[in-house]
């Protein structure tokens, strides 16, 4: 074999392998020493009593002289070594960072030797009293120190952090270790979920859990994931939406219910779509879609204020106002507003819209597409991205709203809304269809579309129809995409930035 065909050594890989070997050698020495002392190289007896962030907040604004003049305040902390500056070691826990001051005159030689052998990424425990450096940094003056976990792999470059997007998604644990922005994003996500739960609970909604494996996929128009139950020898579908089960609960007498749910849709992946995603769905008896628009405005305004401290939410180069009330406009009027060449008659002309969809939007027009389907396509393709500030689009066609209640004065449309922010759909809600005969007819129409080749059309759910026949009170329901809401609050460009472990192509 010629030299040109010989495998080329990767210097970076060799360097990393060498570093790993060095760390393993250190671990071997620690294990030998621990064994001689009858201990473990991975001790689990230290119990921290303080968080770094709490200490930083407690002593915020307290100067060096004041700290040194008062009684000593002792702290016990634990965390990962992020920087080692000789006399000062910087550790990080889930809340923040803090420095550890290495008093070389006051610590035993054995402890100093241990500190000298530390590598970035090691997890340590520290006890001592609080001080402040001449540069103004808070620190713990070490009196006791212990290595809890030896890190066998080097952290990403400490000066540049982890910047490779694919590695950030595949190895989120590294991303969380070294990127404060990522940690802040998921802290915001936790606050959004907790805030929604608290708001709805305060409004007397009851949190419930419904099945994630369905005999019939329903509650949305989407392509499901298919699985198989071996013991029962039956095909099951991963949940695409919890809607039909939640409405069964309203039939059963739970007038206000909600579920923070994971949904699975076997569809494309994009900056706004992940096959596994999180939604909040809630249902309120004796309410209509207008009531839910008002509730949504109140909830989002409170979330923004509580989490971000303002109803003005910065996203990229834009600022979205979450101060209610939001703009409300029908789909028909929105198409008219954003398509200056259309007349009202054009929007109600199926042949005109079919030609426009085929010739201008370059989309297939199937014979089964009615006027409502075409109107929806035109809206999605020519209007959605232009809806920047929070906007409720109302009166969706019945043809594309198989679970929504028809409008009393115009049976072509339904009492439904979708909310858009930054050109993206964030919420979908409507007055529920509680007429079992009408619902059965719409299910049959969906089945006809599925038979005609629409993979996302709904199945016929006979059990749900039977539940409606017992009587569903007048009800309104809504779903809000939590991932997309967090994207707005965290100023994240991609849905993968707000999902801890997004799905990736197999490598």
**Cis amide leading into 325 (omega within 30):** yes
CA 3 from centre of chain: 51
- Sheet containing 416-421: which strands, arranged edge to edge? 206-207, 256-264, 276-285, 475-481, 424-431, 416-421, 391-394, 327-330
285 half-sphere exposure, CB direction, 13 A CA radius: 17
What are phi and psi for residue 238, nearest 5 degrees? -70, 145
The CB density around residue 123, as the number of other CB atoms within 10 Å, is: 18
The per-residue b/e assignment along 317-342, b for 16 or more CB within 10 angstroms, e otherwise, is: eeebebeeebeebbbbebbbebbeeb
Run of H or E residues at 428: strand 424-431
What are the tokens at 390?
A: 């929070």
Under 8 Å between Cβ of 404 and 396: yes
- Closest Cα to residue 387, out of 310, 291, 477, 320? 320
Length of the chain: 507
**264 vs 217, 326, 430, CA distance in Å?**
10, 30, 22
Is 267 one of the annotated binding-site residues?
A: no
Q: How far apart are CA 448 and CA 254, in angstroms?
A: 33
Q: Which residues contact 499 (CB under 8 A, 6 or more apart)?
A: 274, 276, 277, 483
Under 8 Å between Cβ of 278 and 307: no
Q: What pairing do the DSSP bridges indicate for beta strands 327-330 and 123-132?
A: unpaired
- Closest Cα to residue 488, out of 439, 419, 428? 419
What are the tokens at 72?
A: 């000593």
Classified as helix, coil or strand, 285 is: strand
Is 399 one of the annotated binding-site residues?
A: no
CA 428 from centre of chain: 17
Q: What pairing do the DSSP bridges indicate for beta strands 234-238 and 213-214?
A: antiparallel
Q: How far apart are CA 111 and CA 117, in angstroms?
A: 10
Under 8 Å between Cβ of 376 and 365: no
Residues annotated within the binding site are: 418, 425
Residues annotated within the binding site for Mg(2+) are: 418, 425
């Amino acid at each position: 074999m010629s030299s040109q065909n010989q495998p080329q050594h990767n210097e970076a890989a060799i360097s990393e392998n060498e570093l790993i070997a060095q760390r393993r050698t250190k671990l071997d020495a620690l294990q030998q020493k621990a064994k001689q002392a009858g201990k473990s190289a991975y001790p689990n007896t230290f119990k921290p009593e303080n968080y770094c962030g709490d200490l930083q907040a407690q002593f915020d604004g307290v100067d060096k002289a004041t700290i040194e003049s008062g009684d000593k305040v002792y702290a016990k902390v634990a965390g990962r070594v992020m920087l080692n500056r000789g006399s000062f070691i910087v550790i990080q826990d889930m809340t923040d960072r803090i420095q550890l001051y290495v008093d070389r005159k006051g610590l035993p030689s054995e402890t100093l030797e241990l500190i000298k052998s530390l590598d970035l990424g090691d997890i340590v425990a520290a006890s001592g009293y609080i001080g402040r450096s001449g540069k103004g940094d808070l620190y713990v003056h070490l009196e006791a120190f212990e290595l809890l976990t030896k890190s066998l792999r080097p952290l990403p470059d400490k000066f540049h952090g982890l910047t490779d997007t694919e590695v950030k998604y595949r190895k989120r644990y590294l991303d969380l270790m070294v990127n404060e922005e990522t940690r802040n994003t998921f802290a915001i996500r936790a606050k959004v979920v907790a805030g929604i739960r608290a708001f709805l609970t305060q409004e007397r909604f009851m949190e419930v859990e419904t099945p994630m494996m369905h005999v019939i996929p329903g509650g949305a128009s989407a392509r499901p994931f298919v699985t198989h139950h071996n013991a029962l020898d039956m095909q099951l579908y991963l949940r695409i939406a919890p809607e039909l089960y939640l409405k069964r609960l309203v039939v059963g007498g739970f007038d206000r219910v909600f579920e923070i749910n994971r949904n699975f849709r076997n569809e494309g992946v994009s900056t706004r779509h992940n096959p596994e995603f999180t939604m909040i769905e809630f249902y309120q008896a004796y309410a209509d879609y207008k009531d839910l628009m008002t509730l949504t405005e109140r909830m989002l305004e409170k979330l923004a204020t509580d989490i971000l401290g303002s109803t003005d939410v910065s996203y990229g180069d834009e600022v979205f106002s979450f101060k209610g009330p939001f703009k409300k406009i029908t789909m028909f009027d929105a198409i008219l507003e954003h398509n200056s060449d259309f007349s009202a008659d054009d929007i109600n002309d199926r042949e005109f819209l079919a030609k426009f969809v085929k010739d201008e939007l370059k989309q297939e027009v199937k014979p089964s597409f009615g006027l409502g389907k075409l109107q929806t396509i035109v809206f999605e393709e020519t209007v959605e991205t232009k809806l920047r500030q929070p906007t409720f689009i109302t009166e969706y066609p019945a043809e594309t709203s198989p679970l929504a209640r028809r409008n009393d004065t115009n049976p072509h449309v339904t009492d439904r809304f979708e909310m858009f922010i930054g050109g993206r759909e964030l919420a979908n809600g409507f007055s529920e269809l509680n007429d079992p005969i009408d619902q059965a007819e719409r299910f049959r129409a969906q089945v006809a579309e599925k038979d005609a080749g629409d993979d996302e059309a709904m199945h016929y759910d006979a059990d749900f129809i039977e539940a409606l026949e017992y009587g569903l009170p007048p009800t309104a329901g809504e779903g809000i995409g939590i991932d997309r809401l967090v994207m707005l609050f965290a100023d994240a460009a991609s849905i993968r930035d707000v999902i801890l472990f997004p799905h990736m192509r197999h490598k």
